[in-house]
Amino acid sequence: MPPHVLMVTAVAANAPAGETMDILPLIMNASGVVMGVLFLLISLSVVSWFIIGYKALYYARASSQSTRFLDAFWAAKRLDTVYQESEALADSPLAQMFKAGYVELTKITQQKTQSPDGSFGEGSIENVERALRRAYTTEMTHLEGLIPFLATTGSAGPFVGLFGTVWGIMNSFRSIGLKGAANLSTVAPGIAEALIATAIGLVAAIPAVMAFNYFTRKVKVLSSEMESFSNDFLNIVKRHFLR
């Protein structure tokens, strides 16, 4: 018989009458510090799963709407038509960048009309570039929002659980000292309680790390698309508007 099975059998045989080794009673009878650790880990896990669901839907909408925007952008013959299309694509970072660049281009065009010699002012293309960079920074802030919490949960969760485990094992050794007995029935509940903290720490951390890595890749893909679109838009502006 495997050693771990023998240990569990021995613990069950030596447990006092009426005492159970089920997980829920162990959690309910845990010490205050371990209960605090478990509450913190469960809270981190719940918040992490909320962020995972929210960001997954957000990135799905962003990718879908960006694809729709690019189709409309390259198929349209007028930028004002694209601007009207982009009004309905609030979750597309490409659409928001286009709106910022188009608004700045409209201001420059109006300044040209009002200029006595009908020429563009100095630094016109730089103004459009700055508008695109500001929009890029704003959209990247939205895309990266809440992701650091997943990284924090993934990195800190196991250590918080380990703290609960160390505390539970300390209590087990205190019980040995107080009772003067070192049998399994004395130390097993405290050790099991302690290991539950580590297990919940891992349960909170593993999905958070996996989601963080996945979302980080999604952000990189969308960032590359925004940079590519920015270059394309500037080329169009230089060729057709700022000549």
Worst-scoring range by mean pLDDT, 48-57, 135-144, 183-192, 213-222?
183-192
Flag whether 230 is in a domain: yes
Flag whether 80 is in a domain: yes
Residues of the chain with pLDDT > 70, as a percent, come to 76
Asked whether the predicted pLDDT for residue 155 surpasses 70, the reply is yes
- pTM comes to 0.80
Asked whether the predicted pLDDT for residue 211 surpasses 50, the reply is yes
For the chain, the domain total comes to 1
Asked whether the predicted pLDDT for residue 8 surpasses 70, the reply is no
Residue 77: which domain range?
Answer: 32-165+199-240
Flag whether 179 is in a domain: no
Flag whether 9 is in a domain: no
Q: Higher model confidence: residue 140 or residue 182?
A: 140
Q: What is the mean pLDDT of residues 208-234?
A: 95
Flag whether 172 is in a domain: no
Helix H segments across the chain? 3-14, 23-28, 32-75, 79-86, 93-114, 124-144, 147-179, 184-240
Give me the pLDDT at residue 2, please: 45
